[in-house]
């Protein structure tokens, strides 16, 4: 039997899918940076916030939606990736 997800979990999954779709709309030369940005933000927030903290998760969803609306704009063609994000990716790949 497939797992049953709450409405909040479904919202997070939908936001994540939307963010990954946004990455595909960006120039090939910057897609890796956008992908890292998306993965880093979702994964670090998932670890930092308790799933039982509903109000915090709702806040992060709203903030993520607003941020994603900005990045979905066709005028946004690049994003800044910090050294911390690059280090995180290196640790994730070797884990």
- What number of CA atoms fall less than 13 Å from residue 66's CA on the CB side? 5
In this structure, is residue 69 part of a structural domain? yes
Residue span of the structural domain in which 81 resides: 20-94
Task: Please tell me the pTM assigned to this model.
Answer: 0.90
Let me know if residue 81 belongs to a domain: yes
Task: Give residue-wise pLDDT tens across range 22-52.
Answer: 999 999 999 999 999 999 999 999 999 998 9
Mean residue pLDDT of the chain comes to: 95
Is 2's pLDDT higher than 80?
Answer: no
User: How many structural domains is the chain composed of?
Assistant: 1
CA distance linking residue 65 with residue 20, whole number of Å: 13
């Amino acid at each position: 039997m497939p797992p049953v997800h709450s409405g909040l979990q479904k919202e997070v999954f939908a936001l994540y899918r939307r963010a990954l779709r946004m990455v595909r709309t960006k120039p090939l030369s910057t897609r890796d940076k956008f992908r890292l940005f998306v993965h880093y933000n979702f994964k670090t927030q998932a670890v930092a916030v308790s799933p039982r903290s509903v109000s915090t998760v709702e806040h992060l969803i709203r903030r993520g939606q607003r941020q994603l609306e900005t990045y979905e704009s066709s005028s946004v063609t690049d994003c800044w990736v910090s050294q911390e994000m690059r280090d995180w990716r290196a640790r994730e790949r070797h884990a």
